[in-house]
Every structure is written in C-alpha cells, then in structure tokens.
Chains A and B, each alone.
Chain A
Amino acid sequence: MQALGLEVLFKGKNLVRLLGGLGVALKISLISVLISISLGILLGLLMTRRNALIRLVLRVYLEIMRIMPQMVLLFLVFFGTTRALGWDLDGETSSVIVFSLWGTAEMSDLVRGAIISIPKHQYESAEALGLSRSQMYFYIILPQAVRRLIPLSINLITRMIKTTSLVLMIGVVEVIKVAQQIIEANRMASPNAAFGMYLTVFLLYFIACFPISVLARGLEKRWQ
C-alpha cells in the first residue's frame, strides 16, 4: 500500500471526492453525448441531401471541428466569448457546448456514412411499396443505419468521456483535478500518492466506459 501510495485513497473523504469528480466528468459527457446524437442524426440526414450549399456548410463545420484541438475550442468558448461577446459562461457550460459541437460534427459524419452505405434497392423497394419519404427513413433506412452506427458511435462516446479530462484546463474540477489536489495535499505524508491516485483514476474511467462497450457488443449480437 505504502509503495503504491494507495493509502491516501482512504484518508478523509478522498474517495468520495474522487467519485464526485468522476460524476462531473460523466455529467458533462452524458449531456454532450445526448445532444450530439440527436443533432448528429439530424445533420447527418441533411448531409445526404443533394443541396450543394447545405453540404458545403456542413462539410466546413465538420472539418473545423475535426482539425481544431478540443483544448483550443475549450479556451475559445470559455475565455474567448467572455472578451469578445461579454458572455459569462461557467466552465461546465462551456465544456458542454464544446463537446456537443465536436460530438455533433463527428456523429453527423458517422450517420452520413451509415446512410449512404444502405444499398439503393432498399430505397427503391420502400418507394415501390408506396412509403412516403419520412416513412421510408423511419421504417427502412434508419433502423439499418442505426445497426451500422452502434459500434462507431460507442467509440465516439468513449472518446468523448475520455476527452473530458481536458476540462480541468478551464477550471472545472473533474476527476483528474481532484486526484491532483489529493496528490498535492499529501505530498509530504505519501510521496508515492501520484501512482496510486492515477491508477485509481484509470480504474474509474475503465468502470465508466467498459459497461458501454459491453452494452454495444450485446446490441450488435442481438441484432444479427
């Protein structure tokens, strides 16, 4: 225990504080993921339209979100908007905005890919049955697209959860920040705390993300 620096975990309220930090990280991810999935499906559907202008705008948005490091986006939204627009956004709100913007962009591209991978005869068959456009998407195209989407979007969701570790840079106290605080506070008494605490953080992330992978695998199997 001494060598690994795990004993600090059980001092005072340290464990509860860590879990609280994880809670903040998961709250930000969960809200962003929900927003990203719904908006991503919408934008993804729009991206399959023939309208060149819509496609260009969405393409530019996607590329910006892909190329820009998430940290720069966080700084831009948290600090940038305060100076430029006079908005007083708190850290968590800024984080949700940034992760939703990023997640929506990534998700829309996944949705677009899944939809264009549906063979043409599926559309023709739906039309030949006399389905309207919305019925065709609702009954025929989306159920098949969702199936192709599951593994890809699970990957995106876990990436989003992991990337929330960046929000400590704009002063949000999430799990890594709490771990750092605990390590700092115990620098003299437990010099090895860094190892133990980061190991714990690793395990916490694992516990948060693993069930999502299991769920995804289960869904994939059931739908085969």
Chain B
Amino acid sequence: MAFIEIEHLEKTYTSKSGDTEALKDVNFTIEKGEIFGVIGLSGAGKSTLVRCVNLLEKPSAGRVVIDGEDMLSLSERELRLKRRDIGMIFQHFNLLMQRTVLDNVCFPMEIAGMKKKEARVKALEYLEQVELADKAKAYPAQLSGGQKQRVAIARVLASRPRVLLCDEATSALDPQTTQSILQLLKHINEKYQITMIVITHEMRVVQQICDHVAVLEYGRIVESGRTKEVFDDPKTEAAKRLIYTHEYTELESEGSGI
C-alpha cells in the first residue's frame, strides 16, 4: 500500500454567484520517501490540492489516506496532532517577526510541550542542518528571503514530520536561491526519509527534485508519471505547453547571458 493515497478527491466552492469546481476527481499515490511534484498554471487548483492533504481545506468528496490513516475520519484533536506529522512550508515563510530565528524554530516544540532547554538544543541542531546556526540570534527581518525559507524549513523539521508539503516554497526567490533551497529539500528528503509534495509553477523545480510529477489543469490531473518520462514525451497539450514554454525561456535567458 502506498504511503499517501488520494482517491476521487473533489473540492467545490459554493458561493452566491454559483459553484466553482476547484478539483475534479483527483487520484494519485505517493510511495514513502518519494518527492512528488504537482505542476500547473495559476488557478489550476494546486494550492487547493495541497491544502486538502492536511485538511486546511476540507474536500467536498473523496479520500485522503496517509500511512493507512483516513484523514477525514480524524477528530479535531487527532487532526491537530497529525498535522505535526505533516509539515508545510509556504511562499510567504510565515515566521514570527518578533521572535529570534532560534525562538522561531523552538516554537512548534514548545507548543508540543517540550522543555525550553531541550527545545533550544534541538533547534540549534536543525539550524545547523539548514546552515544557519550563526544566525540563531538574528530576527527574521534581518534575513534574506532564502534565509527566511531556511528558518521555515528548520522549524518544520523540529516537528519531525514524515510528510512535507511545499506550497510554492521557492516562488518568491531568485534562481540561485531557489537552487540552494531545492538542494536543501533534496538533502532532508534523503536524510530524514521525508515524503514530499511539491507544488509549483516552475518546471525547473520539478525537473530537479521530483521523482514523479502530476500536471494539473482546471482542477484535473491531465497527465502524470515519472518526471523524466513526462518531460521527454509529454502527451497532453497542457504538459507540452508547460514544458516547451519553459525550454524556450530557458534558451532565451542563456542566450542573453543571464
């Protein structure tokens, strides 16, 4: 049995102006330790999809099963505990601005009831993992975007998650910083055997770290498979458009010497 199973997932937003179907019959499975990419243009439903995995959004229908546990059957309290097992990082980092880097990493451990001293020791270890131990005393406002995302990653590691959801985690970063964050994600994926779902609109992100990829268009998965296979031989229009536009811009930027 796969580690993460998404079955017939549907999400419909109801409003006065009518219903919007954000996700339509989405199915996929992810093996343990795998990095799974979901790619699509903005508005395709990527963010909704990843939020349905840790139930920040409640699916309208379907099943979300993680490690044999049906997420929708959990009580409020069980879900809260389970969420510590499913880390999430965002485009906007979402650090606590009035706390130091170290205290930010300590925060989830303290919430979970760990002693302050113990939490600090652990937090420093995780900061070392993301190569920011020297910034422990700094405040988020003093850091660059890439450093902030590293702090967010250290904070998420502190909950010792088995799953990590990355929602456009590199979209606010420049190409070089994106590279280093991707390497870091790959590193923690291997070191801690964390299963990852990576949501992005950037082809290179998928190309670099994802084992499998699903192409999402108008709330449906139109194509999925091993990253290399999808990239070498895209079958659907949507995938071709994403991949060829990417290659075109890639060539262009190489040509202009950027």
Q: Are A223 and B98 in contact (CB under 8 A)?
A: yes
In the complex, per-residue mask of A130-160: 1 if CB is within 8 Å of any chain B CB, else 0: 1110010001100100000000000000000
Q: Are B90 and A121 in contact (CB under 8 A)?
A: yes
Say which size band chain B's interface belongs to: 20 to 34
Q: Does A124 contact B (CB under 8 A)?
A: yes
Q: Are A129 and B98 in contact (CB under 8 A)?
A: no
Q: Are A140 and B111 in contact (CB under 8 A)?
A: no
Question: Roughly how many angstroms separate A163 CA and B30 CA in the complex, as a whole number?
Answer: 65
Q: Are B88 and A125 in contact (CB under 8 A)?
A: yes
Question: Roughly how many angstroms separate A122 CA and B92 CA in the complex, as a whole number?
Answer: 9
Which residues of chain B have C-beta atoms less than 8 A from A143's C-beta?
Answer: 96, 98
Q: Does B83 contact A (CB under 8 A)?
A: yes
Residue of B nearest to A140 (CB): B96
Q: Does B143 contact A (CB under 8 A)?
A: no
Q: Does B170 contact A (CB under 8 A)?
A: no
Q: Min CB distance, B126 to chain A, in Å?
A: 14
With known contacts A121-B90, A121-B92, A125-B94, A130–B81 Cβ distance under 8 A: yes
With known contacts A127-B56, A129-B84, A130-B83, A122–B94 Cβ distance under 8 A: yes
A residues near B (Cβ < 8 Å) are: 119, 121-122, 124-125, 127-132, 135, 139-140, 143, 223
Q: Are A128 and B80 in contact (CB under 8 A)?
A: no
Question: Roughly how many angstroms separate A122 CA and B165 CA in the complex, as a whole number?
Answer: 16
Q: Min CB distance, A133 to chain B, in Å?
A: 9
Q: Min CB distance, B252 to chain A, in Å?
A: 32
Q: Are B84 and A130 in contact (CB under 8 A)?
A: yes
Residue of A nearest to B88 (CB): A128
Question: Roughly how many angstroms separate A121 CA and B51 CA in the complex, as a whole number?
Answer: 11
Q: Which of B51, B91, B108, B165 contacts A129 (CB 8 A)?
A: B108
Known: A124-B56, A128-B86. 9 other contacts (CB 8 A): A124-B51, A125-B90, A128-B165, A129-B83, A129-B111, A130-B81, A130-B112, A130-B159, A132-B80
Question: Roughly how many angstroms separate A162 CA and B83 CA in the complex, as a whole number?
Answer: 50
With known contacts A121-B90, A124-B90, A125-B90, A131–B111 Cβ distance under 8 A: yes
Which residues of chain B have C-beta atoms less than 8 A from A132's C-beta?
Answer: 80
Residue of A nearest to B110 (CB): A139
Which residues of chain B have C-beta atoms less than 8 A from A127's C-beta?
Answer: 56, 83
Q: Does B54 contact A (CB under 8 A)?
A: yes
Question: Roughly how many angstroms separate A125 CA and B83 CA in the complex, as a whole number?
Answer: 11
Q: Which of B83, B111, B112 contacts A128 (CB 8 A)?
A: B83
In the complex, per-residue mask of B141-185: 1 if CB is within 8 Å of any chain A CB, else 0: 000000000000001000100000100000000000000000000
Q: Min CB distance, A124 to chain B, in Å?
A: 5
Q: Does B37 contact A (CB under 8 A)?
A: no
Q: Min CB distance, A120 to chain B, in Å?
A: 10
Residue of B nearest to A131 (CB): B111
Q: Does B87 contact A (CB under 8 A)?
A: yes
Q: Are A128 and B54 in contact (CB under 8 A)?
A: yes
Q: Which of B111, B112, B165 has the most CB of A within 10 A?
A: B111
Question: Roughly how many angstroms separate A129 CA and B54 CA in the complex, as a whole number?
Answer: 10
